[in-house]
Amino acid sequence: MTHTKKRIIESAIRIFNEDLSAPLQKVADNAAVTRRTLHRYFKDRNELVAVCKQAIESSCKKAMISAIQSSDDALIQLERMLYAGIDCGAKYSVFYKLHQSKDHKHTHQNKNCADYDHIYNQFQGIIIELQKEGKISPAMSPEWIQVLHSGIIESTVNARQTTTKSFEEIKELAWTSYIKAIAP
Interacting residues toward a second copy by CB under 8 A: 18-23, 100, 102, 139-141, 143-144, 147-148, 150-152, 154-156, 158-159, 161-163, 165, 170, 173, 176-178, 180-183
Q: Which residue in 136, 177, 146, 141 sits closest to 159, CA to CA?
A: 177
Handedness of CA 152, 154, 160, 161 (dihedral sign): negative
Q: Is 181 helix (H, G, I), strand (E, B) or coil?
A: helix
Contact yes or no for 116/65 (Cβ under 8 A): no
Nearer to DNA among residue 23 and residue 184 (C-beta): 23
Q: Which does 2 bind (CB under 5 to 8 A by kind): DNA, a second copy, none?
A: DNA
Cα distances (angstroms) measured from residue 61 to each of 119, 127, 158: 8, 19, 22
Rounded Cα distance between 134 and 173, Å, is 22
- The pattern of x and - marking residues 2 through 41 that bind DNA according to CB under 7 A reads xxx------------------xxx------xxxxxx-xxx
The backbone torsions φ and ψ at residue 108, rounded to the nearest 5 degrees and listed phi first, read -70, -15
Q: Which does 100 bind (CB under 5 to 8 A by kind): a second copy, DNA, none?
A: a second copy
Q: Which does 143 bind (CB under 5 to 8 A by kind): a second copy, DNA, none?
A: a second copy
CB of 109 to DNA, least distance (A): 27
- Residues that bind DNA (rule: CB under 7 A) add up to a total of 19
Rounded Cα distance between 24 and 44, Å, is 10
The residues binding DNA (CB under 7 A) are: 2-4, 23-25, 32-37, 39-41, 43-46
